[in-house]
Structure 1
Amino acid sequence: MTETTSPDHEVVIVGAGFAGIGAGIALKRAGVHDFVLLERAGDIGGTWRDNTYPGLSVDIPSPTYSFAFEPRPTWSRLYAKGPEIKDYADHCVRKYGIMPHVRLNTTVVAAQFDETNDMWRVELADGGTVTGRYLLSCQGALTTPSFPEIDGLDDFTGHTVHTARWDHDHDLTGERVAVIGTGATALQIIPEIAGRVARLDVYQRTPIWVYPKFDPRLPRPVQELFRRVPATQRATRFVTTTAVEVIVAGVVHHRRVEPLVKAIERRCLRHLKSQVKDPALRADLTPKYGFGCKRPSFSNDYWRTFNRGNVDLVTTGIDRVTTQGIRTVDGTEREIDTLILATGFKVFDISFPIVGREGVELTAFWKQNRRQSYEGAAVPGFPNLFLVPGPYGNIGLSWFQMIDAQISHALRVIGEARRRGVTRAEVRQEAHDRYMSWVAQRMPGTVFHNGNCATANSYYFDEHGDAPWQRPSSVAAARRRSRSFPLADYDYTTRVSAG
């Protein structure tokens, strides 16, 4: 027998956004200090590092969009602006001593499970390799921009910018600007720039449901109250989380609470009517699919922006981008100076191949067998790998609720493997199949099967027509499950290399 090779670290985390940061904090709190975070960019923060466009703010109340163990009493308003969220990420990294574990400007190009030594070999773009007993994929969903497949996009001679790569050196004042996309990002940026451009053309493929936004400032006395009496901030978090959970209930329990969903839709439509008086324009802005098919959004000024004389809503399909502007399928060409792509992200993409046992690559496996995972965290054939999140693993609308559940799941398994003194933990096929059977039974009751979602063009759906983004359960139920799933659903073994 030969001695088994030891990994460089017990845990390798890929991604230093909030998921990776949360994983690092949780590991340290659990007494696991031998870990490294690999981050391809030059700073931490994920989507809040990359997205800096005008009007950027969180679309979940700030008391809910934060770690429960690290409340922030100094939020300036209920829905914090982007720079505040990035500052919160920096604060968490500093306070919990995560930065010494982070390797910036380190791009992962591949990861393969070493079956002889029960560890992951993570290959880097610079030719190096990092090994870890466990691999946590915390790459996030809103980090890799999605560019539209439109003919002539590269022919445009003006200025082109994706909202996730905003060019702060380019001044839009007095320009003719076009925005392609009307999702959550466009909803924030359009009102912000409409007042300073000469003309703004908004190209809409699919209207978006918009709920009124209660976004008061949180003045200094309120912040001081939160700081001096933490129970008041916990109570605020409870209220905002409960409000968000009502919306989630309409998504995952649509069939059972359809009257609630219809009531939300009626409130949105009243909001639209109060902001847009032109019946024809209002009809163009009215969604034809159910509330929840796309991520719900909140705004008090998006719809009213279309009343401005310099803003045009274009619902005719795009034929191509020309050298000077955009031509629609009816032959109309609108000349522009700047093209803004508010076209979202590749939410299902893993940015590098992950190869498990017997040479099976994860993305290829999903392409052939549809996206699947056990509790949204693990996949049979991929030992010691935890996805944050995997298919059917996201819960609620706040990323932090997902982080809490998925990291709790991973830590329970890692802790059990440590207790047993083994080097491999792999979810059992029958446990995985049981979970996926449960998902299949629950999905018909969600909005994705009942809300005319085929017309929504939603990133919740993948190329198979499945909706693997959302776990079909409440946040509370998912969190309980992450702390109580049977540890026996995993096989715990040790494989020693033979000479």
Structure 2
Amino acid sequence: MTSQTNTRTHDAVIVGAGFGGMGAAIQLQRSGFSDIVILEREDDLGGTWHVNRYPGLAVDIPSPTYSYSFEPNPYWTRLFAPGAELKAYATHVAEKYDLTQYMRFGQSVESATWDEKARRWTVRTSAGDEISATFLITATGFLSQPKMPDIKGIESFKGKVIHTADWDDSYDLTGKRVALIGTGATAVQLIPTIADRLKEFTVYQRTAIWVSPKMDAAIPGFAKSLFARLPLSQRAVRLGGTSILEVLMVAGVLHYGSVPAANKLGEALCRAHLRREVKDKDLRAKLTPDYSFGCKRPTFSNTFYKTFATGRARLETTPIDHVEKDGIVTVDGHKTEIDVLICATGFDIWETNFPALEIIGKGGRNLGEWWRSTRFQSYEGIALPSFPNFFSLNSPYSYSGLSYFTTVEAQMKHMARLLAHMDKRGASTFEVTEEANDAFMARMTENLQDSVFAQGSCATSRSYYFTSKGETPLLRATSTINAFREAGSFPLTDYAFA
């Protein structure tokens, strides 16, 4: 591809064509902007629901809560919809709101720089293209940078290596000796779906995960018809699901100190599920987490524990020492010969995803360096001082509740209020003040003192909620209701306009 410089200044450049980026584009349309560019490194839209396609992939919260509230889908086939339906829903949204006209695929963004004199952003791609825009919006997601395990000798393995975020549909696992590293939420979905066709299956667990029963079922046709004819009925279901998730996340996790019963309820539910599914005491002990419920994101499954209880997979908890060309050797010297190595090892959030590209703001402030030299922070989970006209959707303290859509829609509401005020004032730039940012940061830090992260036992959780410094700036430490209320009522004096 020949590099080119686009001299035209667009209204906005959005990095990422997942649900966050599409939500931002819809809000820009509502606010009167139509000259939008969405840059996506993959070859299609959908974000994580395009990239991930491993067997068993499904949303891990009830489907009615995992969608835009203004664009409900009455036709989910299951309470926990499979990944292909989420991908189809993303395509539906893009087509209905005419977002594909803005999208440019195969465009990996390397950097964005604020031009103080011209008051615009210059965005550069790996192909050498330069695109100018008044506003910059990053919607690169929280789970977008796959992480390979840091294990000695892994590069020497001669068999097939598959990361769950880069699944090879063309490779047949039937009759293979397979090792899978990891027992996080992705592994919990994947393991039961492939176990029956493997010759041998060994799962290497470093950290056990809290797993609760999955109240999943096919959604009957009459319910779909009711949702389609009477959207209010689906809103009621959505409200009920959201309320349950709110209790688990806000009360059980963020208010662990004040409302310990909510956390204990979640843990008791998981323990009872494990006891029912696994009768072998030794195996059950290995599958029982040794950290407080909520330190690490829990998950749902009715088949994960059964896979081990029935012997279709062998659970290995002895730490891995190294990988050889034909197998894995644990620290006790035992070697397991394998044909395939599957890495369900998650994503690198704090080192490569915050931010996912180089962003240079006013006065040459480098966002990644600033975050690491001070603390991970952002005002209301969306704006940053010294970064004018910049909406950072996957920011510290932005994630609200358990459904990503609650976060996206709160941020859309924040954008709407801010852009409307800019228009009213005739301003061309906005920038949150250092004082407002510091005050919000102080409030989040104080609120987190009541959380399971501060008062629970999280040392052994190895959770992506924690940075290398032991801080937990991923979740917004307030209720979802508070996030929505403040998105529409934050003091406009917290911003400087010019």
Q: Structure 2 length as normaliser, TM-score?
A: 0.96
Aligned residue identity for 1:489: D
1:270 aligns to 2:275 (yes or no): no
Note the C-alpha offset of 1:444: 0.8
Q: Distance in 1 between matches of 2:398 and 2:221?
A: 38
Question: Which amino acid in 2 is paired with 1:10?
Answer: D
SS in structure 1 at match of 2:87: helix
Mapped contact 2:31–2:419 kept (Cα < 8 A): no
Shift in Å, 1:422: 1.7
1:420 matched residue in structure 2:
425
What corresponds to 2:253 in structure 1? 251
Give 1:420-459 correspondences, 5 Å limit: 420-459=425-464
For the residues of structure 2 that align with 1:474 and 1:178, how far apart are their CA atoms? 40
Equivalent pairs counted in the alignment come to 489
The aligned counterpart of 1:488 is 493
Aligned partners of 2:398 and 2:230: how far apart in 1? Answer: 34
Where does 1:218-297 land on structure 2 (aligned, <5 Å)?
Answer: 218-248=219-249, 249-297=251-299
The letter of the residue matching 1:344 is: G
Q: AA paired with 2:77?
A: S
Query: Aligned partners of 2:369, 2:252: CA distance in 1, in Å?
Result: 33
Deviation digits for residues 260-289 of structure 1 (CA, Å, limit 9, x no counterpart) = 211221111110000000001000100111
Residue type of the alignment partner of 1:228? R
Match of 1:363 in 2: 368
Aligned to 2:3: none
SS in 2 for 1:195: helix
Question: Is 1:406 aligned to residue 411 of structure 2?
Answer: yes
Asked if 1:326 corresponds to 2:321, the answer is: no
**CA shift digits 1:197-221 (9 cap, x unpaired):** 1111110010000111101111212
- Whether the 8 Å contact between 1:194 and 1:305 is mirrored in structure 2 is yes
Q: Distance in 2 between matches of 1:205 and 1:410?
A: 41
Aligned to 1:31: 32
Q: Equivalents in 1 of 2:315, 2:388: separation in Å?
A: 50
Aligned to 2:348: 346
* 1:390 and 2:391 are equivalent in the alignment: no
- Give 1:497's aligned residue: none
Q: Once the two structures are superposed, what CA deviation does each residue of 1:31-76 show, in whole Å capped at 9, x if it has no partner?
A: 2212111111110000000000000000011100000000011000
- What stretches of structure 1 move > 6 A for 4+ residues in a row? none
* Matched letter for residue 414 of structure 2: H
Following superposition, the deviation at residue 238 of structure 1 comes to 0.9
> Which AA in structure 2 matches 1:430?
E
C-alpha contact (below 8 Å) 1:11/1:134 kept by paired residues = yes
CA distance in 2 between partners of 1:310 and 1:234 (Å): 40
Give the C-alpha shift of residue 464 in structure 1.
1.5
Task: Give the Cα separation in 1 of the matches to 2:486 and 2:298.
Answer: 26
The share of aligned pairs that are identical, in percent, is 47
State whether structure 2 residue 104 is matched by structure 1 residue 99. Answer: no
Q: Which residue of 2 aligns with 1:299?
A: 301
- Name the structure 2 match of 1:336: 338
Q: Secondary structure at the match of 1:479?
A: helix
**Equivalent AA in structure 2 for residue 467 of structure 1:** T
- Supply the distance in 2 between the matched residues of 1:467 and 1:365 (Cα, whole angstroms): 17
Contact 1:208/1:286 (8 A) holds in 2: yes
Q: What letter corresponds to residue 129 of structure 1 in structure 2?
A: E
Question: Conserved in 2, the CA contact under 8 Å of 1:141 and 1:346?
Answer: no
Amino acid of the structure 2 residue aligned with 1:245: E
SS at match of 1:11: strand
Indicate conservation of the 8 Å contact 2:40/2:106, yes or no: yes
* Aligned CA-pair RMSD: 1.2
Q: Distance in 2 between matches of 1:126 and 1:193?
A: 39
Structure 1, 418-427 or 148-157: larger mean CA deviation: 418-427
Deviation at residue 6 of structure 1 after TM alignment: 8.7
Letter in 2 for 1:425: F
Secondary structure, counterpart of 2:64 in structure 1: coil
Q: Answer whether contact 2:142 2:394 (CA < 8 A) is retained.
A: no
How far is 1:243 from its partner?
1.1
Could you tell me how far 1:7 is from its partner in structure 2?
5.6
Post-superposition offset of 1:347: 2.4
2:88 corresponds to 1:87: yes
Any idea what SS the aligned residue of 1:8 has? strand
CA distance in 2 between counterparts of 1:67 and 1:335 reads: 46
Q: Secondary structure at the match of 1:455?
A: coil
- The residue aligned with 1:496 is none
Paired AA for residue 156 in structure 1: F
Helix, strand or coil at the partner of 1:339: strand
- 1:343, distance to aligned residue in structure 2 (A): 0.5
Is contact 2:252–2:261 with CA below 8 Å preserved after alignment?
no
Conserved in 2, the CA contact under 8 Å of 1:38 and 1:103? yes
Which stretches in structure 2 are left out of the alignment for 5+ residues? 1-5
Contact map agreement 1:198 1:310 (CA 8 A) in 2: no
Secondary structure at the aligned position of 1:454 is classed as coil
Q: Is the 8 A contact 1:15 1:137 kept in 2?
A: yes
Provide Cα deviations, 1:379-418, integer angstroms capped at 9, x if missing partner.
1111111110311111111110000112221232222222
2:197 match: secondary structure: coil
Partner of 1:377: 382
Paired letter, 1:280: D
- Do structure 1's residue 313 and structure 2's residue 315 form an aligned pair? yes
The answer on whether the counterparts of 1:372 and 1:436 sit within 8 Å (CA) in structure 2 is yes
1:487 corresponds to which letter in structure 2?
L
